[in-house]
Structure 1
Amino acid sequence: MEKENWINEIIDSTNQIVQVLPSDGLYAKIQSQMNVQKTLDTKWVWLAAASIVVLASINIKIIMTEIQSEKDSEKTALVASISDTNQFYKNNYE
């Protein structure tokens, strides 16, 4: 019974809440702030674009260097596999 009384007291406490009305100019103030467009300075836009171009260029250069080093290592392996003695046949007479 005591628990039920406590619950009813809590529920009845909401009956004493008074609705608060906003000021007349609040809605207009909120609307005006929403309509204000924030723009970026063109300096920052160009800086971002230049940064992207620099990063893309660095990435392309690294990729091209890796491809070239792979080709060089393939050439080195091919050269190493070729005999440098000019003896094409094994000499069995020695």
Structure 2
Amino acid sequence: MDMEKQKWIEDVIDSGSRVRKLAPRDSLLEAIERRVAPVAEVPARKVWIAAASVAVLIALNFAAIKAAGDTGTEKSSTTETPLYTNNQLY
């Protein structure tokens, strides 16, 4: 029984040497390269314009927040709504 198992193992290992290796057709690499789209580069000028516009928007937001904070009519949330101390749910 042990000899049969050993022979079977050797036959399985040896079967790999009888497998014929396949070679791809010559036009396969060219077909793959045609299907894969080239990466489009974004010009540096457009990147700088986008970065500058983001910086301008951030500056405008800070200016708007600062202008809204200087009105002086802001109320505290505790004076607008009463504080409920009764947490009884039923």
TM-score by length of 2: 0.43
Larger Rg: 1
If each structure's helix is expressed as a fraction of its own residues, which one has the higher value? 1
